[in-house]
Amino acid sequence: MICPLDFRYGREEIKRIFSEESRLRYWMKVELALLKAHAKVGNVPEEAVKEIEEKINEVRLERVKEIEKEIKHDVMAMVKAIAEKSKYGKYVHLGATSYDIVDTANALQIRDALNIIEEQMKELIKNLANLAKEHKKTIMIGRTHGQHALPITFGLKMAVFLAEMRRHYKRLKRVKEEISVGKMAGAVGTGAAFGEKFFEIQEIVMKELKLKAEIPATQIVGRDRYIELLSYLANLATSLEKFATEIRNLQRSEIAEVEEFFGEKQVGSSTMPHKRNPIICEQICGLARVIRSNLIPAWENAIQWHERDLCNSSAERFIIPHSLILTDWILYQANKVFSSLRVNAEKMKKNIELSKGLIFTEAIMIKLVEKGMGRQEAHELMRQCAMEALKRNLHLKDVLKERKEIVEKIEDINALFNPENYIGKAEELVEITLNELGKELPEIEV
């Protein structure tokens, strides 16, 4: 085994969809739908459909590979293997080109894979919603540029992630529609080999498989569809990397506000027994980068010579299954993280105090404006006070009490340094996000 998907990453449920055996079964499902369409329009006897439908399950991957080794064509090897099993073999693949089968089967595989990914997305949305609800009042410091900014709540942070995942979930429906397209139009898309009944045959095939037809097509369906799929997966993976990166940062020893679940017997380092590393989040970040990188060949594959060349084929055998399997995997891993995340509310409180009141400069500036001071004047005054506090290593309130222009306007300076009084509408924003989730996605119970 060489590929890490074989032994390290990916869930069996989705990997099965892209196994050699499954690919063959998807191809044969399309071939059978084509045979049924021919029978419905009178091109093939009904007995042929009945017999081949029974015999097709006897086709073995080993035999297909034997034939392919000899003739050097995978789809034609399957056609020959089916034909060997029936006296009606001459009707198999009638009028079709290879990519009528491959692209139509791709749509079926991708759709089934996206259905599995959808379930993982639902679970993650639920986990984020639960965290948002549970911690809507859990105050922590907000950070911009890696520096302490203003107080927020951990629930608001989770609500931001939740809203992002909700958008991804809504986009998924469009992506499914975009990708649920096949073709049965022959070598250059004209349907010439199907004769006068081309449109009817193609419609019957697609109806049987619950797909739409690519009209018009070349020898393949438009690769802009695959670009949209891979772009969606890259976008989703980027959000997951963003969430994981935040957890990794908040788990840093000097911050220690949250932590991945760490098992009782889990080992963090081969040499440092004390280590408790955010390894799941780090894995999510690394694999998200692989998913994004698969966009490059997807774009390149859209550039075809005339009605098509074969450059896309080899690349797509990697990028489509790998991207789908890895996206499902990092969603699964993200669910592990956010379903068992340890939140240290006490450390969040302590970290707020590290700035010695500097995080309240905006709050005090606004209060001074309310008392009649100009905004720019108040901003400059608070800047000076903040720099003075830093220089003298004092708490900001001690510097403020030395400034007559501040003491005259604000009676109770100490009251301005309560973070609970300066989280704006954080709690309400969480509630709005949860309510919107309930309206848009009522199937997800929170």
CB hemisphere CA count around 100 (13 angstroms): 29
Which of 269, 293, 314, 340 is flagged as catalytic? Answer: 269
Beta bridge partners of 181: 212
Of 190, 118, 438, the C-alpha closest to 202 is: 190
Which of 19, 38, 93, 145 is flagged as catalytic? Answer: 145
Strand 258-259 versus strand 342-343 pairing type: antiparallel
Q: What residue type is assigned to position 416 of the chain?
A: L
For residue 212 the two structure tokens come to 């739409």
Share in percent of the chain as helix, strand, coil (round to 5) = 65, 5, 30
19 is a catalytic site residue: no
Q: Cβ neighbours of residue 260 under 8 Å, at least 6 residues apart?
A: 247, 251, 276, 278, 279, 280, 281, 337, 340, 341, 342
For residue 434 the two structure tokens come to 């949860």
38 is a catalytic site residue: no
Place of tokens 């081969």: 270
Strand 212-213 versus strand 181-182 pairing type: parallel
Of 8, 12, 73, the C-alpha closest to 279 is: 8
Strand 147-153 versus strand 139-144 pairing type: antiparallel
CB atoms under 10 Å from CB of 254, counted, come to: 6
In Å, how far are 143, 159, 254, 294, 409 from 240, measured between CA atoms? Answer: 19, 14, 24, 16, 47
Which sequence positions are flagged as catalytic?
145, 269
